[in-house]
Amino acid sequence: MNINNLIKTLTIEEKIGQLLQIAPFFFIQELEKEVSGNITDLGLTASKIFKAGSVLGIGNATEMIQVQKRYLEKSRHKIPLIFMADIIHGYQTIFPIPLALSTSWNPSLFHTMAKVSALEASTAGIHVTFAPMVDITRDPRWGRVVEGLGEDPYLNRIMTAQMVKGFQGDDLKKVGHLASCVKHFAAYGAVEAGRDYNTVDMSRTRLFNEYMQGYHAAIQAGARMIMTSFNVVDGVPATVNKHLLRTVLRETWKFDGVTISDYDSLHQIIEHGVAENDSEAAILGIKAGLDIEMASICYVNYLKTHIESGKVDMALLDEAVYRVLKLKDDLGLFEDPYKGASTLREQALVRCEDHLQKAKEAALESAVLLTNDGILPLSKNKKIGIIGPYAKTKQTNGPWSWHGRNDLNQTLEDSLKHLGVDILYVSDQKVESYTDEEINVLKQMDLLILALGENERESGEAHNRSDIKLPRHQEEYVSFAKRIMKPSIVVLYHGRPLDLTNILSANAILDAYFLGSMANQAIAELLTGIHNPSGKLTMTYPKSIGQVPLYYNHLNTGRPKVKGIDNEFTGYYLDIDNEPLFPFGHGLSYASFFYGQMRLDRHDLHFHETLKIEVDVTNTSEIDGHEIVQLYMRDLAASISRPVKELKGFQKHWIKSKETITYSFQLTPDDLGFSDEQGHLIIEPGRFQIMVGKDSEHVQSEIIRLHEEVKS
């Protein structure tokens, strides 16, 4: 398709229409309103509706075919609609929420999740997914940590690249793939006070060193779109931020894909106080480099006037339209406007056994054993009661799983019984409502499983919490078990790091997040030891919300509080220490691993050389299991203050009982560098600490020196 020739045939209204994204019910009134909010009363005329370029959300193949057919019948130019949706961690087969999946430290699971999601979503005629969400998150009050990949830039970019490749596959024209739209550009996870949509403000040095790596990794992996975030950056809303959308994206990163606003975020710049009205917003958007306007109508109502008056160059409109039409062409929509939509493929692929099995495998690696006094794995022939608000839950898909079917999920009781576990009592009622008879029954149990946590609407977009303790007095279940002297195992269903300080008296805590369609089957296999837990935290768990933000890769400050040293004038609180409850990288196994002395092949590194690091890990237990070993680095003196630790590698291996595995890592001078405020890599010679360990706190370290580059 010759896009430039096609553009020449379009009227200005038709060009502007290609930059409008609205919901499917605009085209067919009786369609279910899957998308809510302002979009439902935009007051668009039919003429503008049937010039739109893309659709936000669609229910299934039948609907997509109906909408596309109706649209093409009414369209003069016959340019097909492109269908986009939020396929974040599964379509109908739901995988663990991304925050949970990231605790697997297994990039291949992200590729699998994305590939399966694309196969299923494409059967509904969806062409683009608004994923991966790669916003770095350090504040557990923020509801959207649930869909992110945690606090570390290195882990983030490794997982991000795999998701983009999994969604897009090897050829976007082929059925079964989705174009990836990475989001939310930029630094949306740094909203002040963990309050969604709130102000983000940081130096460009921090922005590039700590927040931008995921977006860049997605683009390097070939992501075809990027979505702007609701927040300001440098005081300018990201949606009209020319530095982000043109200087960084186009000039520095050479991105030639499509930019899209978030829902209504172009119109919202009025609320930000950066435009008087939609007319001004339209000018700011197109000049900043925003292509598609999602769910608002600044462009479609005002761009024509601004171009005709000379305020906006037609060239700016043409370049945006070109990128949208190029994406449609690369997706093969001109050849087949109904690409992918097939009720037959829906029946064959959506929530099929193979996909459910893959979701279960992912879930098995995405839970974190936080504490265990040896009560786990469950011994056989134990009489067990399950209590707590989530004792009967099937709500395990978590936020951003629109097409998922919680009703088809299994309960923990059924999953455990299926494995032959003796579940004799199940109740989700409050502790204070137990009758004496019920308490007597509970006293007959050998142990209690306490199903605690948050419900699905306590995390996700706009669902922030000012405190991160277990809600609704759930800690009482742990105290109750203590009172009746019953061993207890806490299973947590939730979407953010929680303050668990008051439930450490439980005998074990298995952190199961929202593990998706096969959650309880996986939890049952983990509790019984059929599968050995291996997950490790990718967000720090604080002792108190008062410590937040608390993350492992922090700067040292000039007066660090050193554990065990009593120095009044250093950085600490009078009422709590600076240590997390569980550090980044923490996670237990039923096996036990002994780390040998780390080995470096050199302590002097020169440019164009590679440092090799090895450590032998022995499984000293009788149980086989995965062990994730992490490699960290610290730049001890640079032209800017550098974090006390930075993850620079990780490896996950299966180690049989009594077996020893050598974990090998490599670092080059590039890996020791940092970004300047333009995002360029700076490598400075000097001394570096190299560390390996089982988590960010338990590490062994050695010092190396990087020597000056010898200019040839």
**Residue 362 C-beta: closest distance to ligand GLC, Å:** 22
Residues 6+ apart with CB under 8 A from 412: 386, 391, 393, 449, 451, 491, 520, 523, 524
Closest CA to 505 of 483, 534, 536, 537: 483
Residue 369, beta-bridge partner list:
510, 588
Contact (CB, 8 A) for 649 and 665: yes
Spatial separation of the C-alpha atoms in residues 631 and 667, rounded to whole Å = 10
Note whether 697 binds ligand GLC by CB under 6 A.
no
Q: Report in angstroms how near the CB of residue 88 gets to ligand GLC at its nearest.
A: 8
Q: Is 499 a catalytic residue?
A: no
Q: Is 58 helix (H, G, I), strand (E, B) or coil?
A: coil
Which of 210, 262, 525, 646 forms a contact with ligand GLC (CB under 6 A)? 262
> Residue 459 contacts by C-beta under 8 Å, 6 or more apart in sequence?
143, 144, 145, 146, 398, 399, 494, 495, 496
Q: Which H helix or E strand runs over 413? A: helix 412-418
**Of the candidates 567, 54, 551, the residue with the CA atom closest to the CA atom of residue 331:** 54
- Decide: 101 and 363 in contact? Cβ < 8 Å: no
Least distance between ligand GLC and beta carbon 129 (Å): 9
**Residue 493 to residue 637: CA distance in whole angstroms:** 42
Residue 86 vs 151, nearer CB to ligand GLC: 86
Of the two residues 461 and 702, which places its CB atom closer to ligand GLC in the complex? 461
Is 25 among the residues that bind ligand GLC (CB under 6 A)?
A: no
Contact map string, positions 163 to 202, toward ligand GLC, x by CB under 6 A: --------------------x-------------------
CB of 288 to ligand GLC, least distance (A): 19
* Of residues 22 and 524, the one with the C-beta less far from ligand GLC: 22
Site string for ligand GLC, 58-87 (x = CB under 6 A): ----------------------------x-
Contact 258, 327 (CB under 8 A): yes
User: Nearer to ligand GLC by C-beta: 130 or 255?
Assistant: 130
Q: Is 156 buried (19+), middle (13-18) or exposed (0-12) by CB count in 10 A?
A: buried
Nearest to 585 by CA among 547, 631, 544: 631
For position 130 contacting ligand GLC by CB under 6 A, the verdict is yes
CA–CA dist 329, 519 (Å, integer): 39
Shortest Å distance, C-beta 56 to ligand GLC? 6
- The residue (of 200 and 667) whose beta carbon lies closer to ligand GLC is 200
For ligand GLC, give the closer residue by CB, 115 or 183: 183
User: In the complex with ligand GLC, which residue's Cβ is closer, 130 or 541?
Assistant: 130
Judged by beta carbon, residue 89 or residue 183, the one nearer ligand GLC is 183
Contacts to ligand GLC from residues 324-353, by CB under 6 A = none
H, E, C per residue of 149-171: CCCCHHHHHHHHHHHHHHHHCCC
The Cα-based distances of 268 to 231, 271, 274, 275, 642 in angstroms read 10, 5, 9, 9, 36
- Does position 458 interact with ligand GLC (CB under 6 A)? The reply is no
Sheet with 54-56, side-by-side order of all strands: 258-260, 225-228, 179-185, 128-129, 82-85, 54-56, 20-22, 293-294
Residue 73 has, within 13 A of its CA and on its CB side, a CA count of 8
Catalytic residue among 152, 262, 264, 695: 262
The residues pairing with 383 across neighbouring beta strands, listed in sequence order, are 422
Q: Does 322 bind ligand GLC (CB under 6 A)?
A: no
**DSSP label at 432?**
G
Does 139 sit near ligand GLC (CB under 6 A)? Answer: no
Give the shortest CB-262-to-ligand GLC separation in angstroms. 5
Name the minimum Å distance from CB 244 to ligand GLC: 16
Tell me the closest approach of the beta carbon of residue 324 to ligand GLC, in angstroms.
17
The answer to whether residue 34 forms part of the interface with ligand GLC (CB under 6 A) is: no
Query: Which of 154, 263, 322, 552 contacts ligand GLC by CB under 6 A?
Result: 263
**Which residues participate in catalysis according to the annotation?**
262
List residues near ligand GLC by CB under 6 A: 86, 130, 183, 262-263, 461
